[in-house]
Amino acid sequence: MPASPFLANLLLFGRTLRAVGLPVTHSQSLDFARALELVDVGNRDQVFHAARSFLVNRKEELELFELLFDRFWRFRGEGSDAGKGRKAPAAPRFDPAGPPRFRNLSYLGAGSGRANVEIDEIEIRDRSQTFSSEEVFQRKDFSEMSAEELDELRRLILGMRWRASLRRTRRWRADSRGTRLHLRRVLRDAVRYGGTPLDLARRRRKSKRRPIILLADISGSMEKYSRIILQFFYGALHGLGAGNVECFVFGTRLTRITSSLRIRNVDRALRDASAEILDWSGGTRIGESLGDFNRHWARRVLRRGAVVLIVSDGWERGDVTVLRREMRYLHHRCHRLIWLNPHVGRPGYEPLVEGVRAALPFVDDFLPIHNLDSLRTLVEVLAEVPERKQGLRRRLPALAG
């Protein structure tokens, strides 16, 4: 274990990192000190990587950490020799031809229990509020974001990692860990050995991704969220596979925009999709739009255990009886029906709108979609859709019962 002056410098290094805004805790500094018992403290590379492993929490902190590590450890500590007027040993020079090594540990702090290191003034960005700012951004409502924040949100949405839930098909595939015997292969192999089955081959059912059907309300009451929802649709389609996702929007009529969103160029895809929509920011006829979907598209896209997502605030200007009937039909035809409402995430929300009250009895998951956290929660929900259709319904506590 390094000597106590060296340990003092290690703790001082942790304080230096905290001073510039890197969230390094005391326990991290102590863990780093314990880790030095397992590495060669004379090898600068090993010490650097040990420090980076224990003291860096996020990728964005790497550049600043490396700069401070180089600036901090190239200086010697103020030792007893310096206090007596003697010339203290200079910082070692590292051989560029070989691995850098600490040839002399005195510059890390010798003779004194307290290291006194001065660091050159360097230009760094204040990161002391980074964590809290990012936390606010994660929970900030889409409707309250500035143009710069919406650009950042778009980048994050397109960078999401999607995982669709799997369904078991009726087809089988050979698998040594399967639960059933592959009788055809067993009999075929037994012919080679005079009819004696020496190898019991097994099989299991194949698994495929569940189809995802997205339907979004682009009426006037959803105007603040519609553009972001289209970006979310684009990310879902390209993240889960273009052949596995269907996208529709509705206001007073139903419009399929899947073909436009399949274009690889995101700007062109969103522009073409917007051009196809003729009823932006108009009225809302959810029941009639769902009826159009059920009559003309359900047989084609609600196949093999599809999951349906409806994004709407529930403001229905048509007959809610029609909405109730179409929701009942849709719930019967799909594997899972999820309703996403941007107002659900607001404190004190209650489902008082007639459209929401008519739809809720046929909804499996009633979730918010108003900030980045809600989008990430939705991605997790899609990855964990139960195998059986009659799974537990996911409701907010205020809506339970």
Q: Which of 295, 180, 165, 159 has its CA nearest to residue 231?
A: 159
Instruction: Catalogue the long-range contacts made by 69-76 (C-beta closer than 8 Å, 24 or more residues apart).
Output: 69/13, 71/119, 71/120, 71/122, 72/13, 72/16, 72/117, 72/119, 73/13, 73/44, 73/47, 73/108, 75/107, 75/117, 75/118, 75/119, 76/106, 76/107, 76/108, 76/109
User: Would you state the pLDDT for residue 4?
Assistant: 59
176, 202 Cβ separation under 8 angstroms? yes
pLDDT in tens, 54-95: 888 777 778 888 888 887 776 443 333 433 344 444 434 333
pLDDT in tens, 241-265: 878 899 999 998 999 999 999 998 8
Rounded CA-CA distance 371/160 in Å is: 14
User: Would you state the pLDDT for residue 393?
Assistant: 57
What string of DSSP letters covers 177-203? Answer: T-SEE-HHHHHHHHGGGTT------EE
Structure tokens at 61: 């902190």
- Domains in the chain, please, with CATH? 4-119 (no CATH), 169-208 (no CATH), 210-399 (3.40.50.410)
Q: Which of 277, 233, 226, 276 has its CA nearest to residue 252?
A: 277
User: Would you state the pLDDT for residue 256?
Assistant: 94
User: Would you state the pLDDT for residue 311?
Assistant: 95
User: Would you state the pLDDT for residue 391?
Assistant: 52
Q: What stretches in the chain show pLDDT beneath 70? A: 1-6, 74-135, 390-401
User: Would you state the pLDDT for residue 119?
Assistant: 43
What's the whole-model pTM score?
0.61
Exposed e or buried b for every residue in 384-400, given b needs 16+ CB within 10 A? ebeeeeeeeeebeeeee
Which run of H or E residues covers position 255?
Answer: strand 254-256
